[in-house]
Amino acid sequence: MKKQNEIKSLRFSILFIALVFCLLSPLYGADTERPPIDINLIIDGSAAFSGAREEITSWIFQRLDQILADGDRVTVWNTESEAKIIYSGAVNSSAERDAVKRSIRELSASGDNADFSGALREAARRQGSSYSYTLLVSTSNEALASVLESPQGGLLRYSRVEEFSSWRALVVGLDIDSKVRRAAAAFLGS
């Protein structure tokens, strides 16, 4: 009798462990596939960037390691006096990930202005997938103020801002205004 109870207890324990493993493994063990996204990194190219370069690049690299998946399309913008693309391409290997990071590490910074408006306008125009992640890094209050006063200021309406000692990171919802309006209209039945 004691032996039968031990066997039943062992069977129950094995069944319980197997059940827990089966239920929790999709949450913790398996990466879920997601479709490739467009990632825009718009980085302040003004002289103010030089003072916070190490902190910013370290933070961006950590963020990229968290979000970057094979197939994602990355565009890195340097916003000196005029916005220009310093890297663009799909990332499918560690060598391509390293190329993205190298472009950020070698970013030049000069002048007093950063052309965030030009970079945001072009990034919004170039959207290829249904979802994009746009990160704008600003070390200059003047440059950020000028974009708020420009036609691209509306693109920052639904941004999430993270403040640091001498810079800001804004996650920008490109074209989210129209998506919010469409979703609201569909919800309200208009």
pTM score? 0.74
**HSE-CB for 139 with a 13 A CA cutoff:** 24
Spatial separation of the C-alpha atoms in residues 157 and 137, rounded to whole Å: 16
Q: Which residue has the higher pLDDT, 137 or 189?
A: 137
CATH hierarchy code of domain 38-180: 3.40.50
Spatial separation of the C-alpha atoms in residues 63 and 68, rounded to whole Å: 8
Contact 69, 35 (CB under 8 A): no
Q: What is the tens place of the pLDDT at every residue in 85-105?
A: 999 999 999 999 999 999 999
Encoded tokens for 145:
């103020």
- The distance from CA 23 to its chain's CA centroid, rounded to whole angstroms, is 29
| DSSP-derived pairing of the beta strands 72-79 and 83-91 | antiparallel
Q: For 33, which DSSP code?
A: P
Tell whether the model's pLDDT for residue 4 goes beyond 50.
Answer: yes
Spatial separation of the C-alpha atoms in residues 90 and 71, rounded to whole Å: 6
Confidence of residue 66 (pLDDT cuts 50, 70, 90): very high
Q: What ranges do the domains of the chain cover?
A: 1-30, 38-180
Confidence of residue 110 (pLDDT cuts 50, 70, 90): confident
